[in-house]
Amino acid sequence: MTAQEEDNMPQQFEQPQAQQAATQEDDALATTQAAAQTESTDQADVLDDILDDIESALETNAEEYVNSFVQKGGE
């Protein structure tokens, strides 16, 4: 083995490690993005449920719903 071949060897080992680290970072990023997407979807579902409840209350008796927010005695 020549001196030049010996100098190249550490670089040969560094590339797979760098690629493995990049792959791990990509996997971690994908996992984080998936978790954020799931949380966002869950929050949207909760908001949709609240809006459905309000819509249902308004369809049933809008006047009673609005009057529940009116202050008594002009306060």
Q: Is residue 61 part of a domain?
A: yes
Q: 56 versus 7: which is more confidently predicted?
A: 56
- pTM exceeds 0.75 for this model: no
Q: Is residue 56 part of a domain?
A: yes
Q: Is residue 48 part of a domain?
A: yes
Rounded Cα distance between 23 and 17, Å, is 10
Judge whether 57 and 65 are in contact, CB under 8 Å. yes
Q: Is residue 4 part of a domain?
A: no
Q: What is the pLDDT of residues 12-66, one digit of tens each?
A: 555 566 677 778 788 888 888 888 888 888 899 999 999 999 888 888 888 887 8
Domain count of the fold of the chain? 1
Q: Six-digit token pair at 8?
A: 């190249």
Nearest 5 degrees, angle CA 69-CA 72-CA 74? 110
Rounded Cα distance between 57 and 65, Å, is 7
Q: Is residue 62 part of a domain?
A: yes
Report which DSSP code applies to 70: S
